[in-house]
Amino acid sequence: MYELSAHEKRRQKPPFFNTSYALVPDMKNTYSNNFGFSLVEMAIVLVIVGLLLGVGTTMIGPMTKLAKTRETRDSIDSSAAAILSFAATNGRIPGRSTPVPATYLEFETVASRYTDAFGNPVVYFWEPNLANSPNSICGQSTTNLVVCRDTACSIGAGRVTNVVYVMASGGANLNPQVGIITCPTGLPGTTICIGAYDPGTVNTASPSGFDNCTDTGNCPAANVPPAPQLFNRINRPEEYDDVVKWVTLYEMKSRVGCIGYQGGYRVWNNSGVARDFMLSGKCIGPIPHNTEITLSTGVTTAGQITAYTSTAGTCTGPVTTVTYAQIQTADGTGGDGCINFNTTGPPTDRNCP
């Protein structure tokens, strides 16, 4: 067996320093199993972080607009509640203040907020007959305001009659587009039609979009107190995005506590088919099934409605006639003034929309 020389024995490490017993860790073995990120991995992580930041940045604008639109809608609802409280106390809606500066609206002192979340004034259209006389709401049977829900102001879903007021914000595009438009034929000459559409509605007459608020004639608005702030009409046809709220006379009467129904009755065609009707000596039609017949003129004392088989606005071939007394009986005590016209039986009660 080979034996180490004395010189070799002196060079040999003592057991204390042998790796099996060493107190100092073996740095090579310690770090050999711990791996860091390579440059490629770091680059991939940075690219992913950059993409996430980019997506987040692009979402800030739309999310901010959405939040402000919701805030505006809530603000308009609060103003509607304030108008209702004013109407319940005074029997009328806010209009121009007394004494007037001509540019100062009483509405702006009643509304909880007269500007929207984008900082622009809220547009307000109102029925003068319900603003000028105390205790006029319960005694009023019709109004002159009509909201047109489509460009043709179509009878039925495209037309809301007997409106008390309309409030509107220009929305996220900062461009008020609600305004007075030309009324369709067949409505009384005193009628004021206001175009108020669903967001995103396409204007078939103008591919560039809508803008019915262009001047003081179709979009009157006041300066905002206490410091005069001129109303901004951008006059830029574009996609419709206004935030709009309106209240009908029947809603207002119900909410302010009018006892029973007072005024002209609203009557719907419930005969199952479209047909002509004669109302107050005037032939109107054809009126589709489940559509209001009376439009902006209710059936008042001594009034009546006659249904015809014709469907061309000629009122030929009478079927049946419903009188004011029959309508009043169908509505009953505490009714809301809305009736279904049936050709197979007497009129029946209907809940107002």
Please give the pLDDT value at position 100: 43
The pLDDT-based confidence of 203 (bands split at 50, 70, 90) is confident
Please state the rounded mean pLDDT for residues 299-318: 84
Cβ neighbours, 10 Å, residue 353: 11
Q: Which residue has the higher pLDDT, 54 or 49?
A: 49
Rounded to whole angstroms, the Cα distance separating 303 from 256 reads 27
Cβ neighbours, 10 Å, residue 292: 21
Amino acid type, 327: I
3-class DSSP state of 269? strand
Please state the rounded mean pLDDT for residues 176-190: 87
**Highest-confidence segment of 46-55, 89-98, 138-147, 212-221:** 138-147
Q: What are phi and psi of 194, to 5 degrees?
A: -120, 125
- 104-108, 181-185, 270-274, 305-309: which range is least confident on average? 104-108
Please give the pLDDT value at position 103: 45
- 98-107, 155-164, 294-303, 307-316: which range is least confident on average? 98-107
**pLDDT per residue as tens digits for the range 6-32:** 656 655 555 544 545 445 555 555 555
Q: Which residue has the higher pLDDT, 4 or 209?
A: 209
Q: Which residue has the higher pLDDT, 140 or 145?
A: 145
**pLDDT per residue as tens digits for the range 250-268:** 888 878 877 555 556 788 8
The pLDDT-based confidence of 166 (bands split at 50, 70, 90) is very high
Please state the rounded mean pLDDT for residues 41-57: 78
Q: Which residue has the higher pLDDT, 175 or 232?
A: 175
pLDDT higher than threshold 80 for residue 273: yes
CB-CB contact of 306 with 318 (8 Å): yes
Q: Which residue has the higher pLDDT, 261 or 228?
A: 261
Please state the rounded mean pLDDT for residues 68-79: 90
Please give the pLDDT value at position 226: 40
Cβ neighbours, 10 Å, residue 280: 15
Please give the pLDDT value at position 319: 92
Q: Which residue has the higher pLDDT, 301 or 224?
A: 301
Cis link prior to 25 (omega < 30° from 0)?
no
Q: Which residue has the higher pLDDT, 157 or 316?
A: 316
Please state the rounded mean pLDDT for residues 160-180: 88
Please give the pLDDT value at position 229: 43
Q: How does the average pLDDT of the chain come out, rounded?
A: 77
3-class DSSP state of 246? strand
Please give the pLDDT value at position 224: 42
- Cα 339 to chain centroid distance, Å, stands at 27
The pLDDT-based confidence of 307 (bands split at 50, 70, 90) is very high
Please state the rounded mean pLDDT for residues 49-61: 71
pLDDT higher than threshold 50 for residue 1: yes
Please give the pLDDT value at position 247: 93
Please state the rounded mean pLDDT for residues 85-90: 87
**pLDDT per residue as tens digits for the range 331-351:** 775 566 788 998 888 888 887
CB-CB contact of 188 with 145 (8 Å): no
CB-CB contact of 98 with 55 (8 Å): no
